[in-house]
Amino acid sequence: MSKAPAIEVEGLWQVFGEKASDILKEVRSADTRSIATALQDKGLIPAVRDANFEVHSGELFVIMGLSGSGKSTLIRCISRLVEPTSGAVRIDGEDILQASNSRLIELRRRKLGMVFQHFGLFPHMSVADNVAFPLKMQGAGKTERRARALDVIKLVGLEGRESAYPRELSGGQRQRVGIARSLAVNPDIWFLDEPFSALDPLIRRQLQDEFLNIQATLKKSIVFITHDIAEALKLADRIAIMRDGEVVQIGTPTQIVLNPVDDYVREFARDIPKGRHMTISEVMEPVGDNPLAGDWPELRTGMSLEDALTQCAATFEAVPVMDGDGKVVGQVRPESFVKALGSEAT
Amino acid sequence: MSLTKGAWAALITVLVGALCLFLEPHVDWLGKWPAGWTLPVNDWISQGLGAALGILKPVARFFAWLLAFPMDGLTWLLSQSPWPLTIASVTALGWRLGGWKMALLGAVGFGFVLISGYWLQSMRTLALVFVSVPLALLMGLAIGILAYEVPRVKSGVNVVLDVMQTVPTFAYLTPLLFLFGFGPVVGLVASAIYAAPPMARNTLLGLERVEHDIREAAIMSGGTRRQQLFLVEIPAAANQIMIGVNQSLMAALSMVIIAAVIGGFDDIGWEVLLTMRKAWFGQAFLAGLVIVVFAIVIDRMSATLATQRKAFDLRISGAIVGIGAILSFIVNPDSTSYAMMGGVAASVDTAVGTFTANNGAALDSFKNGAMFYGLLPLRIGLDQAVLPFTWGFMWQPQYSLWLFGVAIALGAVLAIKGRVAQGIVLIIAVGILETGIADLPWPFVLIGVGALGWMGGGWKLARLITILLGTILLAGLWERALLSLYLSGASVFACAVVGGLLGLWAALSKTAWAIIRPMCDVLQTIPLFVFLIPVLMFFQIGEFSAFLAICMYAVVPMIRYTRHGLISTPPDMVEAAVSSGATRWQMLREVRAPYAAPSILLGLNQTILYAFAMLVIAALIGTTGLGQSIYLALGQADIGMGISAGAAMAILAFIADRLVQGFAEDRRKALGL
DSSP string for residues in A228-242 = -HHHHHHH-SEEEEE
Pairing state of beta strands A7-16 and A189-193?
unpaired
Distance CA A64, CA A247 (A): 9
Nearest residue on chain B to A80, alpha-carbon basis: B220
Distance CA A97, CA A294 (A): 63
Average pLDDT over all residues of chain A: 88
Query: What pLDDT shows up at residue A170?
Result: 92
Distance CA A344, CA B21 (A): 83
Distance CA A127, CA A115 (A): 15
> Using an 8 Å Cβ cutoff, are A297 and A312 in contact?
yes
Q: Is the Cβ pair A120, B236 closer than 8 Å?
A: no
Q: Is the Cβ pair B217, A81 closer than 8 Å?
A: no
pLDDT tens figures, A98-108 = 999 999 999 99
Whether A345 has a pLDDT exceeding 70, the answer reads no
Distance CA B269, CA B529 (A): 8
- Max CA pair span of chain A: 83
- We report the CATH number of the domain holding residue B509 as 1.10.3720.10
Chain B positions touching A133 (Cβ under 8 A) are 218, 221, 231
Query: Which DSSP state fits A83?
Result: -
A60: left (phi over 0), alpha (psi -120 to 50) or beta: beta
- How close, in Å, is residue B218 to chain A by CA atoms? 8
Query: What pLDDT shows up at residue A346?
Result: 36
Distance CA B344, CA A321 (A): 98
Domains of chain A listed by start with CATH number: 57-76+95-276 (3.40.50.300), 282-344 (no CATH)
Residue A321, phi then psi, degrees to nearest 5 = -115, 135
Is B662 among the domain residues?
A: yes
- How close, in Å, is residue A27 to chain B by CA atoms? 29
> Using an 8 Å Cβ cutoff, are A81 and A225 in contact?
no
C-alpha closest to that of B630 among B159, B128, B189, B258: B258
Is B597 among the domain residues?
A: yes
pLDDT tens figures, A258-280 = 888 988 888 887 777 777 777 78
pLDDT tens figures, A13-72 = 999 988 888 888 887 777 888 888 888 888 888 999 999 999 999 999 999 998 889 999
Q: Is the Cβ pair B221, A116 closer than 8 Å?
A: no
C-alpha closest to that of A12 among A245, A251, A261: A245
The predicted model gives A287-303 an average pLDDT of 74
Mutate to test the interface with B, among A83, A137, A152 (most CBs of B within 10 A): A137
> Using an 8 Å Cβ cutoff, are B164 and B197 in contact?
yes
Cβ contacts below 8 Å, chain A against chain B, sum to 70
Distance CA B309, CA B96 (A): 10
Is B89 among the domain residues?
A: no
> Using an 8 Å Cβ cutoff, are A161 and A173 in contact?
yes
In B167-308, alpha helices (H): 169-180, 184-209, 212-220, 225-227, 234-236, 238-258, 268-277, 281-303
Q: Is the Cβ pair A122, B308 closer than 8 Å?
A: no
Chain B positions touching A191 (Cβ under 8 A) are 220
A54: left (phi over 0), alpha (psi -120 to 50) or beta: beta
Any B CB within 8 A of A61 CB:
no
Query: What pLDDT shows up at residue A1?
Result: 44
Chain A positions touching B227 (Cβ under 8 A) are 137
Nearest residue on chain B to A132, alpha-carbon basis: B221
Residues with Cβ within 8 Å of residue B239, at least 6 apart in sequence:
B206, B306, B307, B308
pLDDT band at residue A342 under the 50/70/90 scheme: low
Is B548 among the domain residues?
A: yes
Is B324 among the domain residues?
A: no
Any A CB within 8 A of B224 CB:
yes
| CB atoms closer than 10 angstroms to residue B630 | 31
Distance CA B206, CA B196 (A): 15
Q: Could you state, in chain order, the average pLDDT of each consecutive group of 10 residues for chain B (673 residues)? A: 75 83 76 77 81 85 88 90 91 90 93 90 91 94 94 89 80 83 83 91 93 93 93 93 92 87 81 85 88 91 81 85 86 77 81 84 85 84 82 83 88 86 86 85 88 87 91 88 90 94 92 92 85 86 90 94 90 86 86 88 90 87 84 84 88 89 85 75
Distance CA B205, CA B247 (A): 14
Considering its fold, how many domains does chain B have in total? Answer: 2
Question: Domain boundary at B310, B327, B350, which?
Answer: B310
Is B575 among the domain residues?
A: yes
Question: Domain boundary at B278, B310, B342, which?
Answer: B310
Is B225 among the domain residues?
A: yes
Distance CA B613, CA B173 (A): 14
> What b/e string do you get for A293-303 counting C-beta neighbours within 10 Å, with b at 16 or more?
eeeeeeeeeeb
Q: At A255, which amino acid appears? A: Q
Using CB atoms, pick whichever of A137, A167, A178 lies closest to residue B223. Answer: A137
Chain A positions touching B222 (Cβ under 8 A) are 105-110, 134, 137-138, 185
- The reply to whether ipTM tops 0.85 is no
Chain A positions touching B224 (Cβ under 8 A) are 105
Query: What pLDDT shows up at residue A344?
Result: 44
Rg (CA), chain A: 25
Chain B positions touching A118 (Cβ under 8 A) are 211-213
Any B CB within 8 A of A319 CB:
no
Distance CA B641, CA B630 (A): 7
Rg (CA), chain B: 27
Is B67 among the domain residues?
A: yes
Distance CA A245, CA B344 (A): 77
Q: Which domain holds residue B607?
A: 478-673
Question: Domain boundary at B310, B340, B366, which?
Answer: B310
> Using an 8 Å Cβ cutoff, are B411 and B427 in contact?
yes
Using CB atoms, pick whichever of B216, B224, B227 lies closest to residue A116. Answer: B216
